Structure 1
Amino acid sequence: MIDPATLEPLADDAWPARERARLGGWRLNASSGRSMRINACWPLEAPDRDPEAALDAAEAWFAARGLPPRFKLTDGVFAPADLPERLSRRGYGPVKETLVMIGPAEGRDDPAIRLTRAPDAAFEAVFTATAGDPEDGRERLEALSRIPAPACFARLDIDGAPAAIGAAAVGGGFAGIFGMRTAPDHRRKGLARRVLLALLAEARDLGADRAWLQVEADNAPAIALYAEEGFEPAYAYRYWIKTPA
């Protein structure tokens, strides 16, 4: 369906961290410490030094920024091959399994949905209202504003008030779907589906043939929604974090 080694670099570039660095094929991302994707090391290819030295350097890099070290290990795409064992010996363990789903960039236009190239105040209002942690919401909004062009932001208003939103980053023939949120008073009305389809239609116009998205493995309602629109699980990843002694 898709080689994770092809898609993962696109995923990293589509949701850029505030600060980025490299240890050879290991990508270091740091922001405010909330969203794991932009506060983790992505060991996609071999590091530029001995693996144990690379682990030392990655831990030091996060420590210098006041952040806990995290490693994002994608099924079949991490180097060296024994990295899980090396992390286990250092007291790390896997958490938060996430699925990457792939589907066609096929949607439909919806005249009720406003499409913009940057998030506006109304988009941000919905995003903030649906964030359980204000700091987490702020960090993710900052990441949304860093999505490279071409990007698309969708907002659906109900009775003059913003009700549902979503965003897409387009690159390498793919559209990455992010920030799908629905205001609490408007959930279970099919609004998320309308936003998704509008984003997919716009992404195709921007050159995408296929789309990908990331969803937590235990989020059954979201997985079912995406499956109905032709998305299938392609692979999974997990974060490795320090576990209590």
Structure 2
Amino acid sequence: MEFAIGGRLAVRITPADVGKRVSVRRRADDGGAGAEFADAVGILTSWDDGVLSITRKSGQSVRVVESSLVAGKVVPAAPARRRGPAASFDELAAVTARAWQPVESEALGDWRLRAAGGFTRRANSALPLGDPGLPLGEAFERVASWYAERGLPACVQAATGAEGAQEALCAELERHGWWREVSAEVRIAALAPVGDRDADVAAVRLAREPDAAWLSRYQRFATPGPQVLRVLGSGPSVWFAAVPDDAPGAGPDAAPAAIGRCVVDGRWAGFMAVEVAPERRRQGLATSVMTALARRALDEGASAAWLQVEEDNDGARALYDRMGFAAHHRYHHFRPARRTHGAGGTRETPEG
């Protein structure tokens, strides 16, 4: 990272640059002899009382004491090195939301409050796309109250890492005591190469609805209630894939060896719920499921693919790397802190 201009370092940012992408260098210790430096690049989300807050594309917030700055400048958006289709954050946010719809939804200005009896974070979180029509502090309180009325933990889904994403909102959530519980990547790719893969799709069965066997492999619940089927069945054009278990002795009602779900929405095909039985992994079954679903989506006119993968799911990330999926942005689920009381006084702890 280069800050020198004519051989000199300079701080060329001010509080007026809040909201812009910046690059800064700061002293990492007390600045004495042998001082080390640390760099940060991200959106400058605040500059208050001598402290800067910079939100990186990963969603991590970095606090920088103004007096520790040795260099800083506004930098343009990172150069595009994408693979696959061009896509804006707004377009993908809308497409991904339509593929995983809640049972209940209510508007808060331009935000959507979503609930589905607690089945998945995506269907039970506020989607803050636009202006809530209230000051943010009041909007966050309204979100918390809405979920409390339904006996659900409050949750807000917000994104970072793409032009037009929500770094400033993430910083405001943290300032109001919300904490980042989990993060995931939204990845995109051209659809045709996924459908063109040399995969064994003969055994993959496609259906419009999940049967009991499919649901038994999708291990995200104890007993699938009506809200599960509502969420899974939501979307413009939904397909379910299954590879039957061909092990000796496996009956027709046995859990499939592999499953997947695809939602076709205009030019986009979204892949979800790709799961393989532990004893059948690394046999190409996930690739077969996705290839079969991709071919069906191509038949319906789709040309681009997307999926979501949690950042700690190394096996899935490696598979999607091989299939040509590249990160577009990250989204995060934020929970509010609650106040607890003890011998040490009042403190904030994350809500479970």
State TM-score, norm by structure 1: 0.89
Distance 1:20 1:90, change over 3 A: same
Give the structure 2 partner of residue 150 of structure 1: 237
Q: Cα offset for 1:34?
A: 4.3
Are the equivalent residues in 1 in contact too, given 2:180–2:335 (CA < 8 A)?
yes
CA RMSD, 1 decimal:
2.2
Are the equivalent residues in 1 in contact too, given 2:98–2:236 (CA < 8 A)?
no
Are the equivalent residues in 2 in contact too, given 1:34–1:135 (CA < 8 A)?
no
Pick from 204, 207, 217: which aligns with 1:126? 217
Aligned residue identity for 2:169: L
- Structure 1's consecutive aligned runs of 4 or more residues displaced over 3 angstroms after TM superposition are 135-142
Q: Cα offset for 1:186?
A: 1.6
Report the secondary structure of 2:244's partner residue.
strand
Q: Deviations over 1:195-240 (max 9, x none)?
A: 0111111111112110100000121211111111111111101111
> Residues of 2 paired with 1:58 and 1:235: CA distance?
24
In structure 2, stretches of 5+ residues that fail to align are 1-85, 339-347
Give the structure 1 partner of residue 150 of structure 2: 65
> Residues of 2 paired with 1:179 and 1:138: CA distance?
18
Give the structure 2 partner of residue 12 of structure 1: 97
> Residues of 2 paired with 1:151 and 1:88: CA distance?
36
> Are residue 103 (structure 1) and residue 196 (structure 2) matched?
no
Q: Cα offset for 1:66?
A: 1.0
Aligned residue identity for 1:29: R
Give the structure 1 partner of residue 258 of structure 2: 164
Aligned residue identity for 1:152: W
Greater Cα radius of gyration, structure 1 or 2: 2
Q: Cα offset for 1:72?
A: 0.7
Higher relative contact order (CA 8 A, sep 6+): 1
Q: Deviations over 1:140-161 (max 9, x none)?
A: 554212x234111111113165
Give the structure 2 partner of residue 190 of structure 1: 284
Task: Report percent identity of matched pairs.
Answer: 36
Number of matched pairs: 239
Are the equivalent residues in 2 in contact too, given 1:124–1:141 (CA < 8 A)?
no
Are the equivalent residues in 2 in contact too, given 1:155–1:165 (CA < 8 A)?
yes
Distance 1:237 1:149, change over 3 A: closer
In structure 1, stretches of 5+ residues that fail to align are none
Higher helix share: 1
Q: Cα offset for 1:24?
A: 2.0
Q: Cα offset for 1:136?
A: 8.2
State TM-score, norm by structure 2: 0.63
> Residues of 2 paired with 1:121 and 1:95: CA distance?
31
